[in-house]
Amino acid sequence: SNCPSIRIQTAQEFAWISSVIKSKSIDLAKHSREVHQIANIILSNANFKEIPLDTFSKKVLNIFDTETLAFIYEYHDIGKAFIDTNILDFNGRLSVKDFEIIKNHVSAGVNIITSMYNGKQITSVAEKYIYLTAINIIKTHHENLDGSGYSNGIKGDKISFLGKVAKVADVISALMGTRVYKQPWTPAKTLQYLYSNIGIEFDPYVIEIVDKNWDKILKVFIDNDVELLFNQVLYNQKAM
């Protein structure tokens, strides 16, 4: 496949996005990476013969290998780079006004990737679809299966399969990740939440894959927390 060369070409552009995310907030960088890792587990363990796929997702899955596709998920929250860190890392319930500001990260993200895409000489189908996939994932990662999500309140088959994966990966990371402003949920409580929201927030096919690969998903958090502790120890030693 022509993925590696595309990754190198586009990687430089996406590298500045990563640096923006990292400089914005450690939590945001950690969350972005968790969503990437969880999406990778879901996509690489999906049996696409059994899943009814929308045209867009089918096309994308034909172009990219899972690794390349999962890497695009890392940028689902790029719009948060333009939101005040005090709101992003707020400890407690956000006011209605602040929540509306947070919700703007979706359109901000779409605008960033769209302007990158518009400002570029696209030389291949694969390159074009890196941008289109990023836009699709950003647009849909807060949509709910029953239409109660944002930004467009679309539902069911109107949400791409790739978007449904983004939604689930995003919620798992948000609940189980260690953050400045909250303690992580237990695996049992998280799984219970996912199951009780099938058909409301989540696609049943995606939750089935998550359930079958739950141990792999838990390992993402164990590994990331070990690394975080290790970095904190190193940082504290340097500071001594």
Residues 6+ apart with CB under 8 A from 34: 169, 172, 173, 177, 220, 221, 224
- Mean pLDDT for all residues in the chain: 89
Token reading at 83: 């939101």
Q: Grade residue 138 by pLDDT with cuts at 50, 70 and 90.
A: very high
Is 164 exposed, middle or buried (CB count within 10 Å of its CB: 0-12, 13-18, 19+)? buried
- DSSP annotation of 185: P
Write down the pLDDT at residue 235: 65
Phi, psi of 179 (to 5 degrees): -130, 160
Look at residues 146, 148, 187, 140 and name the one whose alpha carbon lies nearest to residue 166: 140
Write down the pLDDT at residue 37: 97
Write down the pLDDT at residue 114: 94
Hunting for tokens 């089935």 — which residue is that?
208
User: pTM of this prediction?
Assistant: 0.90
Q: Grade residue 2 by pLDDT with cuts at 50, 70 and 90.
A: very low
In whole angstroms, give the CA distance from residue 237 to residue 158: 52
Q: Grade residue 1 by pLDDT with cuts at 50, 70 and 90.
A: very low
Residue-wise pLDDT for 63-83, tens only, equals 999 999 999 999 999 999 888
Mean pLDDT of 148-165: 97
In whole angstroms, give the CA distance from residue 65 to residue 54: 18
Residue-wise pLDDT for 18-66, tens only, equals 777 777 788 888 899 999 999 999 999 999 999 999 999 999 999 999 9
Write down the pLDDT at residue 8: 52
Lowest mean pLDDT among 73-82, 150-159, 195-204: 73-82
